[in-house]
Amino acid sequence: MNKKICAGVCVILTFIMFFANMSTTYSNAASTSLSSIQQQKNDVQSKIEEAKKEIDKLSSEMTAVQKQISELNAQISIYQDSIDTLQKQIDENEATIVQLEADYEKRGKALASRIVAQYESGEITYLDFLLSSESLTDFISNYYVLGELVDIDNGLLTEIEETKTNIETTKKQLEEDKATVEEQMNIVKQKASELEESRKKLAQERSATENNKSSLNSKMQELEKQEQKLLEEERKQNGAAGYVGSFSGTLSWPLSTTSRYYNLITYGYGPRNQPTAGASTNHKALDIAVSYQPVYAPADGCVDAVITESNSGGYGNYIKIKHSDNLYTCYGHLSSFNVTVGQTVTRGYKIGTSGNTGISSGPHLHWEVRVGSGTMNDRVNPLNYISKETYSKLIFCF
């Protein structure tokens, strides 16, 4: 069995301690640049998030402005229809006026020529007409006929003039109406054009933000490449322990120093060859070689989950403890539980016993540290959270 071989190898303590010291020296240097890259990644990521928010904000502002522009255009179109209708009426009136003027002129000329003819003939026509009357009644009758003829001519001219005046008044009113509508339409057009300017500015701003976001994404990719390279180098130098942290000492070791192999790490945090079918290739935890030993809470907390092996996937019997809103620890492959969900535990409280349940190639404790909301994606290297003193006692054997 692997672990027995490991245990044998690990007896050569001199070599191990030398190796451990070497890797610590290397790790500190690598972790500095790694943490700097991770810091840069965080900065870039938050800038990307800001850019995304900004793009969303600008997009919704643009949508709102576009909606207003459309509404104003609809209003402009209504005004335009109204102006067209008024113009049509004005044109019709204009045509009528021209027609009436022609009519007036024609009738006026006719009357004038008749009067001229009468004048030139020295009223003889009238007189002859009257004298041709055969009786006094006839005479009187002819006299009125003449008067009425002149009145009809005059009346027609007056009527034409009045009609023309009326139509001209209507036309003037229509022109005033049209001017008012045009004025209103121009106000709306001005507003629409101002909004169009705002829309263009927003579009420019959005496009600039998108460019910025795209260069941030490229930068992020570049940082990820650098990070992968450093992690890979570190893994080569430091084995799969992948130490990157600062020994915060937030967590104490979850096993007693009296437990056999309490300090023997058979798999560290990072990529590995699959030890058994179904196990992970990117192992985001520490595997500690103890078999059936008490497991202790590494800090105060509250039991967040207790899941039996049939419901936990490869984890076997599993416990998750919440230490704070930002820090969780998880324990896999346990043989038994000593806590229930919701139970408060203090540092050093026995939460269960290690074992070999779930997907496991031999008895060991699978120990995870999670930050943030405590999901699988939040797993970090537990070595970052133990003290330097604890770390100095660990033996990496893989």
Nearer CB in complex with Zn ion: 202/321: 321
Nearer CB in complex with Zn ion: 147/313: 313
- The Cα 154–Cα 173 span in angstroms is 29
For residue 314, the minimal CB distance to Zn ion (Å) is 9
Nearer CB in complex with Zn ion: 11/277: 277
Per DSSP, the residues of 35-81 read HHHHHHHHHHHHHHHHHHHHHHHHHHHHHHHHHHHHHHHHHHHHHHH
Q: Give the pairing of strands 365-371 and 379-380.
A: antiparallel
For residue 50, the minimal CB distance to Zn ion (Å) is 37
Nearer CB in complex with Zn ion: 320/366: 366
Contacting residues toward Zn ion, per CB under 5 A = 285, 287, 366
For residue 280, the minimal CB distance to Zn ion (Å) is 8
Closest by CA to 24, choosing from 397, 391, 385, is: 391
Cα 99 vs. chain centroid, distance in angstroms? 65
For residue 283, the minimal CB distance to Zn ion (Å) is 6
Q: Which run of H or E residues covers position 343?
A: none
Per DSSP, the residues of 152-174 read HHHHHHHHHHHHHHHHHHHHHHH
For residue 21, the minimal CB distance to Zn ion (Å) is 26
For residue 333, the minimal CB distance to Zn ion (Å) is 7
For residue 251, the minimal CB distance to Zn ion (Å) is 17
Nearer CB in complex with Zn ion: 213/366: 366
Nearer CB in complex with Zn ion: 303/359: 359
User: Phi then psi for 318, rounded to 5 degrees?
Assistant: -135, 140
Closest by CA to 394, choosing from 281, 173, 242, is: 242
For residue 67, the minimal CB distance to Zn ion (Å) is 56
- For residue 344, give the 3-state DSSP assignment: strand
Nearer CB in complex with Zn ion: 206/283: 283
Closest by CA to 382, choosing from 296, 301, 285, 239, is: 285
CA distances from 220 to 40, 225, 292 (A): 9, 9, 44
Nearer CB in complex with Zn ion: 93/335: 335
Contact 298, 349 (CB under 8 A): no
Chain residue whose CB lies nearest Zn ion: 366
